[in-house]
Amino acid sequence: MPAPLRIVLTESEDRTLSELRVAKTVAQRTRDRAQMLRLNAQGWVVPAIAEIFECQEQTVRETIRRWQQQGLGGLWDASGRGAKAKWQEADMAYLEQCLEQEARTYNSRRC
């Protein structure tokens, strides 16, 4: 059985994580990670936190370790994750131009 992971947050760190948890412009995964850290600092154990967030215990452990190694920056996903953009800026500009010139209105009933 692995040793229990426990972090201690300063008042400033706890306040930052609390604000991050409710920020609407931050990805949900990042907000969840902030809350995982706050729960751990309050004495919750990894299995209980994993149950609350319906994730694997390893996910919670990785979040705690990333916090210990990277600090606040460890909460965000690494760059390069996910699908690469297929549309170019010129494509979007062309579509916007076409829509501005088109007199017709498109909605779900027409499609």
Residue 106 lies in a domain: no
Of 87 and 26, the structure prediction assigns the larger pLDDT to: 26
* Rounded Cα distance, 83 and 47, in Å: 31
Number of C-beta neighbours around residue 6 at 10 A? 12
Residue 69 lies in a domain: yes
- pLDDT at 91 (0 to 100): 86
Give per-residue pLDDT as tens, 36-54: 999 999 999 999 999 999 9
Residue 86 lies in a domain: no
Residue 5 lies in a domain: no
- pLDDT at 2 (0 to 100): 62
User: Among 74, 68, 62, 37, which Cα is nearest to 52's?
Assistant: 37
Residue 95 lies in a domain: no
Number of C-beta neighbours around residue 81 at 10 A? 7
Q: Is the pTM of this model over 0.95?
A: no
Residue 97 lies in a domain: no
- Report residue 18 CA to chain centroid gap: 14
Structural domain of residue 62, as residue ranges?
11-75
Residue 90 lies in a domain: no
Residue 15 lies in a domain: yes
36 and 69 Cβ atoms separated by less than 8 Å? no
Of 55 and 78, the structure prediction assigns the larger pLDDT to: 55
* Rounded Cα distance, 67 and 10, in Å: 13
Q: How many domains does the chain have?
A: 1
Give per-residue pLDDT as tens, 65-106: 999 999 998 998 877 767 777 888 888 888 888 888 877 766
* Rounded Cα distance, 78 and 63, in Å: 13
SS3 2: coil
- pLDDT at 109 (0 to 100): 64
